[in-house]
């Protein structure tokens, strides 16, 4: 007699993506277990460390993903975040220039501390989800659908973790893994490894840029994998609260602050306590020349005098000297699934540089898209398959997820790389400012149709964006539009801008401006 049983999901990584995945599948009725290599964050001080991670900017895509699982989560995080209505450009001469993200509707992105976001998401998980902290994935036996974990000894767990050369991702770098076939027997004395293993129907890698689940999958099948480092490092610095200013904010709290200097830049995101998390992005080659405190002092005074004045030279240099230099990497994996047994979400499948503020949002959106695919394919919470058997219906759904998500992930990784040049250099260009004003004007004249309503089975109902919409709006404020469609539309609009420039020249010669405007409008609607 065939018996039904709950589907079992084992999630590796309890960062924001892993925690939301766990809650999503739990609400679908799955049995869920989560492994996390770090300590349990619940009930602990969530103050930023200023050592490990860039502040997070959560926007419409991330909030919509939270809302799709639990509407109260989106409301909670919006209440704890600080809205940022635009970029505040700091010029060398001290002049400040506000560039609004959405001049028409006033939409904002939101600054939130990574530790706070992570802590709240883990705290939202019900007690029926099994959480295992200080547990690292050791190996995966896909033949028998078992995962083996290792926990450090008490002595080892109290040692200070090394924090050099970090890579920003949803999770920390846990290093390489042993393999994906049988349980490894070569663990060190300091780690205690499972003997029996943990069974699963589906293992989900939410374990960041250096994913162990991904490495195990790559040993089982031909996965296309690429990684690309950019020649720039990031270093976190800190701007303390100023008790003499309203709320303690030394600079405007409702902007993302940028000190663009072409080859490098400094950015600042606000925290609730009045402080700002500052991040310096600079080529490794340039950092190598700042090998003395005096050299570093000259660098900051020449390039960021206003930041030095606010933070104080000593504090700024102390942070610069002691805080680690992080790498910035783009990682792509295709496909992001294996059979009916494994899937990668977040940075494990698409680590990106942080310059579009979409790393977190894209990772959370993965959860919403996966949930929509499971719903579309009617994947129930129970199965009649014995543990170890291939589930053809789940396999079909996972393949559909990978195919549906691939072009969007490729597009946002490309856009994130492009936006670094914009942030550190193009924002200073009069042509960039002109394009922003033209985008605003054309959006008012040729506004696209109303934003489509999201559904449980259709993650991106706007298949083709009409009218005129700025790239930033589509990427940041339009969760109904896939990243790939946003990129396609922007390329089309750039062609129109070039064509309109030719029409403008013709206008001066032959007075065909009205005709040209009508033609441009027609082209915009069709493309």
- Compute the distance between CA of residue 467 and CA of residue 500 in angstroms, rounded to an integer: 15
Cα gap 101→82, rounded to integer Å: 15
Yes or no: say if 184 and 197 are a contact pair by the CB < 8 Å rule: no
**Confidence at residue 421, expressed as pLDDT on a 0 to 100 scale:** 81
Q: Enumerate the β-bridge partners of residue 326.
A: 234
- What average pLDDT does this structure show over 380-403? 92
| Alpha-carbon torsion (341, 16, 35, 332), positive or negative | positive
Task: Tell me if 171 sits within 8 A of 206, measured CB to CB.
Answer: yes
User: Rounded CA gap, 221 and 398, in Å?
Assistant: 15
pLDDT surpasses 60 at 223:
yes
**Tokens representing 361?**
């949002």
Counting beta carbons within 10 angstroms of the beta carbon of residue 278, is it exposed (0 to 12), middle (13 to 18) or buried (19 or more)?
A: buried
Categorize the per-residue pLDDT at 523 as very low, low, confident or very high, splitting at 50, 70 and 90: low
Closest C-alpha to 260, from 419, 423, 101, 416: 423
**Euclidean distance between CA atoms 415 and 239, whole angstroms:** 29
Of 508 and 141, which is predicted with more confidence?
141
371 Cβ neighbours under 8 A, 6+ residues apart: 24, 28, 68, 69, 456
Q: Dump pLDDT digits (tens) for 96-119.
A: 999 999 999 999 999 998 888 999
Instruction: Delineate the domains of the chain, giving CATH numbers in brackets.
Output: 5-83+110-224+332-389 (3.50.50.60), 232-322 (no CATH)
**Residue ranges of E strands in 13-120:** 31-36, 56-58, 82-84, 86-90, 96-100, 109-112
Mean pLDDT, all residues of the chain: 86
In the predicted structure, residue 508 carries a pLDDT above the cut 80: no
Which ranges constitute the DSSP H helices of 28-84? 60-69, 71-80
Q: For the chain, what is the largest distance between any 2 Cα atoms, rounded to a whole number of angstroms? A: 84
Q: Assess whether pLDDT exceeds 50 at residue 252.
A: yes
List, as one string, the DSSP characters of 128-164: TSEEEES-EEEEEETTTTEEEEEEE-HHHHTSPPP--
| Averaged pLDDT, 151-176 | 42
The 10s digit of each residue's pLDDT in 7-49 is 999 999 999 999 999 999 999 999 999 999 999 999 887 655 4
Confirm if 102 and 473 have CB atoms less than 8 A apart.
yes
Highest-confidence segment of 151-155, 190-194, 364-368, 465-469: 364-368
Identify the pLDDT of residue 419: 87
* pLDDT for position 524: 56
The answer to which of 333-337, 378-382, 512-516 has the lowest mean pLDDT is 512-516
Give per-residue pLDDT as tens, 312-371: 999 999 999 999 999 999 999 999 999 999 999 999 999 999 999 999 999 999 999 999
Number of Cβ within a 10 Å radius of residue 212 = 26
Are 289 and 282 a contacting pair, CB within 8 Å?
no
The pLDDT of residue 515 is above 50: no
Q: How many CB atoms lie within 10 A of CB 516?
A: 18
**Which pLDDT band, with edges at 50, 70 and 90, does 171 fall under?**
very low
């Amino acid at each position: 007699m065939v018996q039904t049983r709950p589907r079992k999901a084992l999630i590796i990584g309890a960062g924001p993506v892993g925690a939301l995945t766990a809650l999503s599948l739990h609400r679908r009725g799955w049995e869920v277990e989560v492994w996390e290599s770090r300590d349990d964050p619940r009930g602990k001080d969530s103050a930023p460390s200023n050592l490990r991670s860039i502040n997070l900017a959560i926007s419409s895509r991330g909030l919509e993903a939270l809302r799709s699982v639990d509407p109260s989560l989106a409301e909670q995080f919006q209440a704890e975040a600080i809205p940022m209505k635009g970029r505040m450009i700091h010029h060398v001469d001290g002049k400040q220039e506000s560039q609004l993200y959405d001049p028409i509707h006033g939409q904002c992105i939101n600054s939130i501390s990574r530790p706070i976001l992570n802590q709240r998401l883990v705290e939202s998980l019900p007690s029926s989800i099994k959480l295992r902290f200080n547990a690292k994935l050791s190996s995966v036996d896909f033949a028998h659908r078992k995962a083996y974990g290792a926990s450090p000894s008490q002595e080892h767990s109290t040692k200070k973790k090394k924090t050099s050369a970090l890579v920003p991702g949803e999770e920390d770098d846990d290093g390489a893994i042993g393999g994906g076939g049988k349980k490894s027997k070569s663990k060190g004395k300091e780690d205690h490894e499972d003997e029996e293993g943990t069974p699963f129907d589906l293992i989900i890698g939410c374990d960041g840029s250096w994913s162990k689940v991904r490495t195990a999958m790559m040993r089982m099948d031909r996965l296309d994998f690429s990684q690309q480092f950019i020649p720039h490092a990031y270093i976190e610095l800190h701007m303390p609260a100023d008790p003499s200013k309203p709320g303690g904010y030394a600079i405007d709290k409702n902007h993302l602050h940028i000190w663009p200097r072409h080859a490098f830049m400094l950015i600042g995101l606000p925290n609730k306590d009045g402080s700002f998390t500052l991040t310096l992005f600079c080529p490794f080659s340039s950092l190598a020349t700042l090998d003395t405190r005096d050299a570093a002092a000259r660098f900051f005074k020449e390039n960021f005098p206003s930041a030095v004045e606010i933070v104080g030279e000593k504090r700024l240099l102390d942070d610069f000297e002691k805080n680690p230099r992080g790498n910035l990497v783009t990682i792509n994996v295709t496909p992001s699934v294996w059979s009916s047994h494994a899937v990668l979400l977040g940075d494990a499948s698409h680590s990106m540089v942080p310059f579009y503020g979409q790393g977190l949002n894209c990772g959370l959106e993965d959860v919403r898209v996966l949930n929509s695919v499971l719903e579309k394919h009617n994947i129930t919470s129970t199965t009649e398959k014995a543990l170890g058997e291939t589930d053809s219906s789940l396999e079909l759904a996972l393949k559909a997820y990978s195919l549906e998500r691939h072009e969007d992930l490729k597009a946002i990784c490309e856009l994130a790389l492009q936006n670094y040049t914009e942030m550190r250099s193009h924002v200073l260009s009069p042509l960039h400012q002109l394009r922003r004003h033209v985008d605003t004007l054309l959006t008012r004249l040729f506004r696209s149709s109303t934003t489509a309503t999201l559904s449980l089975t259709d993650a991106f109902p706007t298949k083709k964006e009409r009218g005129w919409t700025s790239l930033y709006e589509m990427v940041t404020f339009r969760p109904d539009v896939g990243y790939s469609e946003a990129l396609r539309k922007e390329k089309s609009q750039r062609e129109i801008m070039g064509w309109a420039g030719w029409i403008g020249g013709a206008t001066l010669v032959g007075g065909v401006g009205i005709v040209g405007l009508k033609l441009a409008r027609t082209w915009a609607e069709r493309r």
